[in-house]
Amino acid sequence: MPPDPSWLDEASAKLAHVPLGPRTELVGRVEEVADGVAMVSGLPQARLSELLRFSGGQYGFAQVLERARIGCVLLDAPERVAVGDLVHGTGDVVRVPVGPELLGRVVDPLGRPLDGKGPVNAALFEPVERPAPEIIDRDLVTQPVQTGLLVVDTLFALGRGQRELIIGDRAIGKTTIATDTILSQKHSDMICVYVAVGQKTSAVRRVIAAIQAQGAPERCIIVAAPAAATPGLQWIAPFAGFTMAEYFRDRGQHALVVIDDLTKHAATHRELALLNRLPPGREAYPGDIFYVHARLLERAAKLSAEKGGGSLTALPIAETDAGNLSAYIPTNLISITDGQIVLDARLFHEGQKPAVDVGLSVSRVGGKTQAPALRAAAETLRLDYAQFLELEIFTRFGGMPDARVKGQLLRGAKLRAILTQPRHAPLPLAEQVALVLAAQSGLLDALTSDALAAFRHGLAARLARDATEAMRMIEATGRLEGAAETALRAALTVFARELAAP
């Protein structure tokens, strides 16, 4: 029986719709590759920051465009890219997955899972480089971000939409402050994104363990680009973290981004720039280093009601060398942000933790975002504490201070004691108000060190028993008024007298 010729007719019909003729495909070739950077030739129409695909499936992005070559930063292991490999332009930029599917996950800057929980099935991908909100689309920063740290919430209050720099020497508690802020959002409505840039893997694991043990990991995203990651991944990590957080901000929610840290990001940018033969400037950094961090941090904002009213708060971290705040990167970041929390190595080694330098730290939003109850309680706290520090230095030279000065020194010592706080133990707002009220009212002056520790340890239970209405009012409205305030002061007085009794 002869074969059925219908298949031939069907194939002919399909071929009739296929356009015939030559097709142009631009293909580049790797000329050099080393240290996470590939020099590519043969792609004259490639654009800046365009995503390039190598023949082995690896990706990179164009950072430098020369007349004959492209400086491409690799996003995958450079060992898998060889001289002579073909390179294709994609016509797109680097994109990362965004959406609720990322919550509770640990991913790399490209959204690839690192936690062994399977792929991230995100439906939406957004560019890592996005424009900052326009001035007209922004609103005033008025809502607080409770860090749970008494020294920060009372003296340098943070607001939703603010950019507050955490800066200090190596290993004196910068990451701890940021982690405690994330832990303090356990019962809030904020989405937290922690971005690790160039950190040791063990340090990243400690942060993840703290969030999983004491925070709300189901509302957190961990973006990890540790020191072992390629320079390209470390470079895009802060931008990817902001893009993931902006998804929630643009939908009327509130997000917090911690970048740990931008000093290592700046070093990575310098490394890539020098490998791409860009001209060096001060301290060998390229001339656009300020612009890189400025365009990143400008994306943090509080949006207007017309844009949904969401907010994106940024807590970038920077490392100093021997407390030198006038170095190139620290001065750049201080000028970009809305304030800085400065940590002092001397205070840290003296046992005062968090080791916040009250004189050098500042929040340019400050009391405008504080809860009214805390603002009223801490109205003169910073001035009183600053005077105490000056008097303490003065009395070291000897002399017999009068009774008034002795009283100030005693009150200041109690203030310093309550501002010292163990790590990963954030305080709720009501306890912060009660502690400051007790200290400023002089109720703690007669307490010994052991009695003061007992006061702090038992404060939550005592307030829950004797000042329930005040606790409820502070947590619900941020205010303390009328009978509730009277009841709170009475409970604090009785508790302090019990501990002060011989």
Q: Residue 421: its pLDDT value, please? A: 93
Query: What does DSSP assign to residue 130?
Result: -
Q: How confident is the model at residue 87 (pLDDT cuts 50, 70, 90)?
A: very high
CA 76 to mean position of chain CA atoms: 25
Amino acid at 378: A
Tokens for 141? 């920063």
CATH domain 376-500 topology: Lysin (1.20.150)
Q: Residue 131: its pLDDT value, please? A: 94
The 3-state DSSP class for residue 434 equals helix
Q: What is the mean pLDDT of residues 386-394?
A: 85
**Average pLDDT over the chain, rounded to whole?**
91
Tokens for 431? 């306890």
Amino acid at 63: Q
Query: What radius of gyration, in Å, describes the C-alpha atoms of the chain?
Result: 28
Q: How confident is the model at residue 398 (pLDDT cuts 50, 70, 90)?
A: low
Helix, strand and coil content of the chain, in percent to the nearest 5, comes to 45, 20, 35
What does residue 448 show for φ and ψ, rounded to 5 degrees? -75, 175
Handedness of CA 88, 90, 95, 100 (dihedral sign): negative
Q: What is the mean pLDDT of residues 466-484?
A: 90
Distances 382 to 102, 343, 367, 440 between C-alpha atoms, Å: 40, 16, 12, 11
**Helix axes of 262-275 and 231-249: crossing angle, nearest 10 degrees:** 130
Q: What is the mean pLDDT of residues 280-285?
A: 92
Q: Which tops the pLDDT comparison, 239 or 91?
A: 239
Q: Residue 7: its pLDDT value, please? A: 62
Distances 362 to 155, 157, 158, 341 between C-alpha atoms, Å: 8, 9, 10, 7
Whether the link from the prior residue into 169 is cis, omega within 30° of 0, is no
Q: Residue 67: its pLDDT value, please? A: 87
- Is 97-370 in CATH node 3.30.300.30? no
Residue 41 has pLDDT above 80, yes or no: yes
Q: Residue 119: its pLDDT value, please? A: 92
Q: What is the pLDDT of residues 148-192, one digit of tens each?
A: 999 999 999 999 999 999 999 999 999 999 999 999 999 999 999
Q: How confident is the model at residue 404 (pLDDT cuts 50, 70, 90)?
A: confident
Told to judge if 423 belongs to the known catalytic residues of this protein, a careful annotator would answer: no
Q: Name the residue among 380, 368, 409 with its Cα closest to residue 392.
A: 409
Q: What is the pLDDT of residues 284-293, one digit of tens each?
A: 999 999 999 9
Q: What is the mean pLDDT of residues 278-283?
A: 90
Q: How confident is the model at residue 137 (pLDDT cuts 50, 70, 90)?
A: very high
Q: Name the residue among 374, 357, 283 with its Cα closest to residue 327.
A: 283
d(CA 35, CA 73): 9
Q: What is the pLDDT of residues 290-349, one digit of tens each?
A: 999 999 999 999 999 999 999 999 999 999 998 999 999 999 999 999 999 999 999 999
Q: What are the structural domain ranges in the chain? A: 27-92, 97-370, 376-500
Q: Residue written as tokens 């400008």? A: 298
Provide the strand spans (E) within 15-164: 27-34, 37-41, 50-54, 59-65, 69-74, 86-93, 95-98, 106-107, 124-127, 144-145, 158-159
Q: Name the residue among 152, 181, 146, 158 with its Cα closest to residue 356.
A: 152
Asked if residue 180 lies in contact with residue 315, where contact means CB atoms within 8 angstroms, the answer is no
Q: Residue 399: its pLDDT value, please? A: 63
DSSP conformation letters of 160-183: TT-B-EEEESTTSSHHHHHHHHHH
Among residues 47, 205, 364, 462, which one is catalytic?
364
Q: Residue 500: its pLDDT value, please? A: 80
Q: What is the mean pLDDT of residues 11-39?
A: 80
Q: Name the residue among 226, 49, 45 with its Cα closest to residue 129.
A: 49
Query: What does DSSP assign to residue 147?
Result: -
Q: How confident is the model at residue 397 (pLDDT cuts 50, 70, 90)?
A: confident
Please provide the CATH number assigned to the domain covering 27-92. 2.40.30.20
Q: Residue 23: its pLDDT value, please? A: 65
In percent, how much of the chain has pLDDT > 70? Answer: 96
Q: Residue 296: its pLDDT value, please? A: 96
Residues in the chain: 502
Tokens for 485? 């305030």
Q: Which helix (H) or strand (E) element contains residue 461?
A: helix 449-466
Q: Residue 8: its pLDDT value, please? A: 65
Asked if residue 207 lies in contact with residue 175, where contact means CB atoms within 8 angstroms, the answer is yes
CA 46 to mean position of chain CA atoms: 33
Around 447, how many Cα atoms within 13 Å sit in the side-chain half-sphere? 27
Can you name the residues that pair with 61 across neighbouring β-strands? 51, 73
Alpha helices per DSSP H over 250-303: 262-275, 289-297
d(CA 158, CA 47): 40
Residue 94 has pLDDT above 90, yes or no: yes
Say yes or no: do domains 27-92 and 97-370 share a fold.
no
Q: Residue 26: its pLDDT value, please? A: 77
Residue 40 CB burial class (10 angstroms; 0-12, 13-18, ≥19): buried
Around 158, how many Cα atoms within 13 Å sit in the side-chain half-sphere? 32
Amino acid at 312: L
The three-state DSSP-derived secondary structure of 202-254 is HHHHHHHHHHHHHCCHHHEEEEEECCCCCHHHHHHHHHHHHHHHHHHHCCCCE
Q: Name the residue among 212, 157, 224, 151 with its Cα closest to residue 186.
A: 212
The 3-state DSSP class for residue 494 equals helix
Q: Name the residue among 218, 219, 147 with its Cα closest to residue 179.
A: 147
Residue 2 has pLDDT above 60, yes or no: no
Q: What is the pLDDT of residues 442-469, one digit of tens each?
A: 899 888 989 999 999 999 999 999 989 9
In 10 A of CB 147, how many CB atoms? Answer: 26
